[in-house]
Amino acid sequence: MDIPKDRFYTKTHEWALPEGDTVLVGITDYAQDALGDVVYVELPEVGRKVEKGEAVAVVESVKTASDIYAPVSGEVVEVNTALEKTPELINQDPYGEGWIFRIRPLDMGHLDDLLDAAGYQEVLESEG
């Protein structure tokens, strides 16, 4: 499974990529593979204030629905509207075109509480 080293991760299989004073959020390659064909994404409203760990979006595959949690507290400032027409971007390019929403964190320093690529690799190994 691909785990880019340029970003942070959660135990719930989100990734968080810092860009300026915002953070791009998506799901990992492992997560999209486990979900299978993504057919619908419920996006949050721009401007919504979210707490770390709060369910912000929902990714639906053919077989199941999965909540996507905010990796840090902050405000949703952008959503990937391309997913409304082409939700399969999450399967095709989970770390790029398949991003889900952008948050402006209350404090960029909170990213340090997340896992790095090596830490996330360990989570996957412990899940077997």
Partner 1 sequence: MKRTPLYEAHLRHGGRMVEFAGYALPLQYTSILEEHLAVRRGAGVFDVSHMGEFLIRGREALAFLQWATANDAAKLKVGRAQYSMLPNARGGVVDDIYLYRLGEEEYLMVVNAANIAKDFAHLKELSRGFAVELTDLSEETALLALQGPKAASLLQGLTDADLSQRKRNDVFSARVAGRPARLARTGYTGEDGFELFLAPEDAEAVFEALLEAGATPAGLGARDTLRLEAGFPLYGHELTDDTNPLCTPWAWVVKKEKDFHGKEAMLATPCAEKLVGLVLEAGIPREGYRVYSGDRAVGWVTSGGYSPLLEKGIALAYVEKEAQEPFFVEVRGRKAGASLSPLPFVPLK
Nearer to partner 1, 46 or 62 (CB): 62
What is the identity of the amino acid at 52? K
Residues that bind partner 1 (CB under 8 A): 36-37, 39-40, 42, 58, 60, 62-63, 65
- CB of 28 closer than 8 Å to CB of 15: yes
Whole-number Å distance between alpha carbons of 22 and 27? 17
Q: How far is the CB of 92 from partner 1 (least distance, A)?
A: 12
Closest CA to 118 of 40, 30, 4: 4
The enclosing H or E element of 24 equals strand 22-27
Q: How far is the CB of 53 from partner 1 (least distance, A)?
A: 17
Task: Give me the residue label for tokens 């909170």.
Answer: 110
Q: What are phi and psi of 56, to 5 degrees?
A: -110, -35
Q: How far is the CB of 37 from partner 1 (least distance, A)?
A: 4
Q: What are phi and psi of 91, to 5 degrees?
A: -75, -40
Nearer to partner 1, 43 or 108 (CB): 43
Nearer to partner 1, 43 or 123 (CB): 43
Nearer to partner 1, 42 or 97 (CB): 42
Q: How far is the CB of 106 from partner 1 (least distance, A)?
A: 26
